[in-house]
Structure 1
Amino acid sequence: MDGSLLQAVFIFLAFTCLIVPLSKWAGLGPVIGYLIAGVLIGPFALGFISDPTTILHFSEFGVVMMLFLIGMELQPRELWLMKGQLLGLGMTQVLATTALITLASIVMGQYWGEAVVIGMALALSSTAIAIQIMQDRGMMTSETGKAGFSVLLFQDVAVIAMIAILPTLAIQGGTEVIAGTDHTTSAANGPTGWYLAASILACFGGMIFAGRLLLRPLFRFIARMGVRETFTALALLLVVGSTLLMEWLGLSAALGAFIAGVVLADSDYRHQLQRDIEPFKALLLGLFFISVGMSIDFATLVENPLGIVGLLAGLVMIKFVVLLVIAKVSGMEAISASLFAILLSQGGEFAFVLSQFALSAHAMTSATATTLNAVVALSMATTPLLLLLFDKIVARKINTASVKTGPSPVDEGHRVLVLGYGRVGQMAARLLGTQNIKATLIDFDADHIELTAKYGSRVFYGDAGDMELLRTAGAEHMDIIIVAIDNTERITQIVREIKQQFPQAKVLARARNRNHMFDLFDAEVDYAERITIRGGLALGRKALELLDMNEAHTEKLAREFLSHDYKMIQESIDMRDDLDALVAHNHRSSAMIKEALKSDEEHWGNKS
């Protein structure tokens, strides 16, 4: 193996392990950490890596994998339901931002065709940064998250049209070669762009057709053979193949991967695919952020610092205002609209791609492309910083109002603290409310915060894992703390810290599955509940009732089954790493459950 490659890998891993944890500890978040690591590694600082371009192209595969996984989360019918946001928010954002930046560029003396290219390139936002932040904050299922994703998805689709019209915006005549084709044409008249657009639509149709007719039977065959590494290889082959197809067309590889993911969204094997690809995605996505930091051209910044900073401020301000206006018009509250605008206010990774195509089509000068790339790369670093500022402002506004002088939370009836006000946290808090037990709430989702604040609830904005925030919310006085956030690893970590710092409180937590239950019991949780088990028992009860069993009896059966199952999990904690012992224990426990429930069998009118 090439020693220089091993050296580069070592440098990447070393700086990741050193800088990223420090960045997170300082409250800057992992994305800023990756960017700082890239700056230090790159040619303009320590100079360990002199050519970031190759690394950037390779690491973009992390973005591709992320879009593939997101595509698998969306059923085609869900995409159809999103058409309003795609066309409303997405189209409005792209058109308005392009128009404003184009106008500003013309005023600054750019040729009109080049100004349009600049406007289109800067209208795009960073899919990698925005979605990573939304996932870290558990926002993907919130209204703000859905709106943000819709805009990002429309931007990826819009890249098709942008590339198609580049030849018509040429500064001067010339010969253009579209990647992956032999079709040449005058850059001034550019029929190749429309040929490309038709090819793209044909390829998308072919991907959907092939996915339905060929991929699913192939996955089924490999799964039946039981060779797991081949299953993983096929998943990676699918992602790489869609990437190569999009690159051959000269398009956003991430868009092709997203469509491939949507094709497999209702596949029986999508959960296995997600588990197989997730580790590759996480590593490559971190590498992508590092390579963006490496690619920041500090020479251009040093030559014209005020100009670059001015362009950077102008870009972020224009995009923020456009996004804020369309968010407010669409009905978002002020806090949610501001968060939405910050998330998408940066330049996107596909601006780099568009600038390269513009150069080859003679639609942009090399000096303009260099400046544009520097501004886009720097803008990516502004989003985590703006979010940090946003969190402090919102937290100060909301949390100061919640910390009242006078009676303590306990005196006011706030004996329960709920961390995470999503679907699970809402149901728990509402049930407590029926008995006049007021729950204090902590959530990182602006949508949830604004809604609960309107009803007069005592709410705090911030990270549920911040023990100082919990202390401010009165955790040391609480009888019960419910951990209802939607992040398996963080739930376990938070439970462990709460048990150490607030030992007086009983800790209740949501669990993802049986293995997560084991982890929570290791963390000394007082009670854990798998969210899906109640729904499964409800369906089982209904099935028994339709088979003529008495309703009261099915309720008793479900209650006893749940009690026995919970006891079985507690008893098998020490066996979780011994598969044979665990299987044997499960068989014994199942037999005990059947025996315990057998005495009530006479109530079933339809015995088998």
Structure 2
Amino acid sequence: MDSSNFLIQATIYLSSAIFLVPLFKRLGLGSVLGYLLAGILIGPYALKLIPDPEHVLHFAEFGVVLMLFLIGLELESQKVWELRKILFGLGGLQVLGTIGLVTLAAHMMSFTWSEALVIGMGVAMSSTAIGLTALAEKRQLGTLGGQASFATLLFQDLSVIPLFMLLALIAPNSADSAFDVWAVVKAIAVIVAIILASRTILRPVMRIIAQTEIREIFVAFSLLLVIGVSLAMQSVGLSMALGTFLAGVLLADSEYRYELRLDIEPVKGLLLGLFFIAVGMSVDLSLLANSPMLIFGFALLVVFTKMAILMGLGRLFKYSIRDTLLYGVALSQIGEFAFVIFGVALSQNTIPRETYNILNAIVAVSMLITPILLLLYDRFLTMQCGERPKDEIVENNTVIIAGFGRFGQIVGRVLLAKGITATLIDNDPNQVDLMRKFGWRCYYGDASRLDLLEEAGIATAKLLVISVNDPAAALNIGKLVSARWPNLEVVTRARSRTDAFDLRDIGLNPIRETFYSSLVAAKQALLAIGESPSAAAKIIEQFEQHDIDQLEAARAIRHDMDALRTMSEKGRQDLKDLLAVEQAELKGSKSPTM
């Protein structure tokens, strides 16, 4: 590819993504569907702006690899070990159960046993890219359903070697593809080498690279690390994503984990988007036009069959309906690794070309269906399947805390230390269950509902702490309480200046959640550069009062951007002058008297 052709293709990719992805995100359809449809439009079967998606797909798969590395950086070895039961139990049952059921069904549809087994292996795989991206985008990765999805995807990566061995055994020329015990030995050796290198060699090398203080060199080393691990794993037939995930986990407690994340995150995002575009380009529209019922029918059949299997396993492992449904929807598609399985089976003459083309089309369409199902999950399915009913509140305390996350917990712990018991309410069932495991009596419910507040005893309470994470919900609770119980003391959290404006409008005095912690950090910064403790404390005190005054003044003109900008510029200069006068007075007071 010449340079001009490369630039033209890059322009096409970026333009299609910039146009469609924000549009689909704004419509609530998610970025993944936007990327997929962008690929369909520019691909060889629609506008034909990009003639060959295969090369792009192989390159863009590296985005999935980077994503697994970053996920590994967020986990520690102990956390991965805690997932072992669902990793091998849930993940193992999903892979084996799906292969067995789909193989039997395919054979009953007149496929040979070898063809049916290939189809079963492909269908058992789910898309790491789509599943984890969608869960992270919706902030569901930390839920029980999200953890089950992650563990299952990880087990699917672990099953790569056995599946390749099985493909070799069922191939027509299987005598030439006999089981290679040395392949297993080499795979184990590479994994051990990665573990040892990360514990002995890697960190000293990273320290040397970091000491150069050349950012681009550290970025280059970060990418080299991921590429090197990927090539090592690929050379012994293992999943590149599995290898980089392992490397990420081993570096999770490293002092350089945050620098690694900052360096790799932008590259990962671009490559992952390019991967989805490449998948969209691989959708053969001519095949869909000629056999729409066949392709869409089988794609829907596969998706709902996988959902049934996944949800059955979720209930077997005693997940809630909400988490079970999330698990089933997130992994309902056929994954990108199915392209590899079907390609190997085609090269070994296990499946014919016509079957290969149809299977690839079904894989691509199943990927298109998943973002739509996730949208339905968010908006309709959880309600239809029976949302968890609110808990019955059986205590009345003088304090009610609405929202018991990271903010509300601090307030609750301080009050409890003083012997004051609060009624704790949160609208996240997973958070409620987690708090109960740690001994807190926490109730599930929506604190913006009048009946729930009355049940909690707000009529006789002395204080309400509004610490919910949703600014709109906090404002609704504040309006309700101000109208019904105007004499009740209210302490409320604001996530930003804009939220603080709205809460002040209804008569509340909100606490900006990062403001005071930032003041502490600013004071430490002043001390670090040589200010005396008294001078630093005075500066912070003056800044705090100045900012509070600015906040109140800005509230009246918050919808006039020009006026806000002018006030902000004047405020910065006024603060600078104020601190300069204070500094001069401080120096004068320290001068020796003559």
Question: In the alignment, what sits opposite 1:371?
Answer: 358
Q: Which one-letter code corresponds to 2:272 in the other structure?
A: L
Alpha-carbon distance, 1:225 to partner: 2.8
**What displacement does 1:456 show?**
5.3
Which residue matches 1:268? 255
Deviates more, 1:225-234 or 1:150-159: 225-234
Structure 1 position 345 matched with structure 2 position 347? no
Counterpart position of 2:291: 304
Question: In structure 2, what is the equivalent of residue 457 of structure 1?
Answer: 445
> Partners of 2:120 and 2:4 in 1: how far apart?
43
Aligned partners of 1:415 and 1:477 also within 8 Å: no
Report the number of matched residues. 506
Cα offset, 1:150, TM superposition: 0.8
Shift of 1:56: 1.0
Cα gap change, 1:438/1:282 in structure 2, threshold over 3 Å: closer, same or farther? same
1:595 aligned partner: none
**CA distance 1:571–1:18, shift in 2 (3 Å):** farther
Q: Give the distance between the partners of 1:144 and 1:281, measured in 2 at CA.
A: 24
- Which residue of 2 is the match for residue 518 of structure 1? none
Cα distance change, pair 54–438 in 1 and its aligned pair in 2 (3 A): same
* Preserved CA contact (<8 Å) 1:441 1:460: no
Summarize the alignment of residues 169-248 of structure 1 with structure 2, pairs less than 5 Å apart.
169-170=170-171, 172-173=172-173, 187-188=174-175, 190-248=177-235
Instruction: Report the alpha carbon displacement of residue 348 of structure 1 after superposing the two structures with TM.
Output: 0.8
For residue 24 of structure 1, what is the aligned residue in structure 2?
25
| Alignment correspondent of 2:119 | 118
The code of the aligned residue for 1:477 comes to L
Residues 432, 438 of structure 1: 8 Å contact kept: no
Say if 1:121 and 1:354, in contact at 8 Å, map to a contact too.
yes
Secondary structure of the residue aligned to 2:159 is helix
Mapped partners of 1:156, 1:532: distance in 2: 45
The share of aligned pairs that are identical, in percent, is: 36
Query: SS of the residue aligned with 1:141?
Result: coil
- C-alpha distance in 2 between matches for 1:381 and 1:425: 40
Distance 1:469 1:396, change over 3 A: farther
Query: C-alpha deviations, 1:103-148, integer Å up to 9, x for none?
Result: 1111111111121121111111111111112222223333222221
Residue aligning to 2:147: 146
User: 1:458 corresponds to which letter in structure 2?
Assistant: D
User: Residues 545-560 of structure 1 correspond to what in structure 2 (within 5 A)?
Assistant: none
Change (3 A) 1:92 1:334: same
Closer, same or farther: CA 428–310 of 1 in aligned 2, 3 Å: farther
Coordinate RMSD, CA, aligned: 4.1
Post-superposition offset of 1:310: 1.9
Is the deviation greater in 294-303 or in 279-288? Answer: 294-303
Give the match for residue 55 of structure 1: 56
Q: Are the counterparts in 1 of residues 169 and 179 from structure 2 also a CA contact under 8 Å?
A: no
Q: 2:232 corresponds to which letter in structure 1?
A: L
Q: What 5-or-longer segments of structure 1 have no aligned partner?
A: 174-186, 403-412, 484-490, 512-526, 537-559, 593-608
Asked if the contact 2:33/2:371 (under 8 Å) is kept, the reply is yes
Supply the distance in 2 between the matched residues of 1:296 and 1:502 (Cα, whole angstroms).
53
Q: Which amino acid aligns with 2:353?
A: S
Cα-to-partner distance string for 1:175-224 (whole Å, 9 max, x where unaligned): xxxxxxxxxxxx34622554433322221112222222221111111122
Preserved CA contact (<8 Å) 1:126 1:349: yes
Q: CA deviation at 1:358?
A: 2.0
Q: Quick check: which has more Rg, 1 or 2?
A: 2
Change (3 A) 1:335 1:561: farther
- Map 1:315-354 → 2, pairs under 5 A: 315-354=302-341
Structure 1 position 447, deviation (Å): 2.9
Q: Is the 8 A contact 1:165 1:193 kept in 2?
A: no
The alpha-carbon distance between structure 1 residues 355 and 193, as it changes in their structure 2 partners (threshold 3 A), is: farther
TM-superposed deviation, 1:450: 7.9
Confirm whether residue 278 of structure 1 aligns to residue 265 of structure 2: yes
Task: Work out whether residues 427 and 445 of structure 2, in 8 Å CA contact, stay in contact via their aligned partners in 1.
Answer: no
Q: How far, CA to CA, are the matches of 1:451 and 1:81 in structure 2?
A: 16
Q: 1:144·1:447 contact (CA, 8 Å) conserved in 2?
A: no
Say whether the 8 Å CA contact 2:402–2:447 is kept in structure 1.
Answer: no
8 Å Cα contact 1:56/1:291 also seen in 2 = yes
Amino acid corresponding to residue 94 of structure 2 in structure 1: Q
**CA distance 1:372–1:466, shift in 2 (3 Å):** farther
SS in structure 2 of the partner of residue 191 of structure 1:
coil
Report the alpha carbon displacement of residue 18 of structure 1 after superposing the two structures with TM: 1.2
How far off its partner does 1:26 sit?
0.9
Partner of 2:277: 290
Contact 1:395/1:460 (<8 A) preserved = no
SS of alignment partner, residue 61 of structure 2? helix
Output one character per residue of 1:431-451: Cα deviation in whole Å (capped at 9) or x when no partner.
8999797777555xx634788
Corresponding residue number in structure 2 for 1:596: none
Determine the C-alpha separation between the residues in 2 that align with 1:8 and 1:417. 52
- Sort the Cα spacing of 1:305 and 1:532 in 2 relative to 1 into closer, same or farther, 3 A: farther
Cα distance in 2 for residues equivalent to 1:469 and 1:528: 23
Conserved 8 A contact 2:296-2:365? no
Supply the distance in 2 between the matched residues of 1:425 and 1:531 (Cα, whole angstroms): 20
Counterpart pick for 1:447 among 399, 424, 430 = 430
* 1:380-410 deviation digits (Å, cap 9, x = unpaired): 12222112112222565688978xxxxxxxx
Structure 2 unmatched runs, 5+ = 391-397, 436-440, 450-467, 482-489, 525-533, 548-567, 587-594
Q: Is the 8 A contact 2:425 2:444 kept in 1?
A: no
Matched, 1:86 2:87: yes
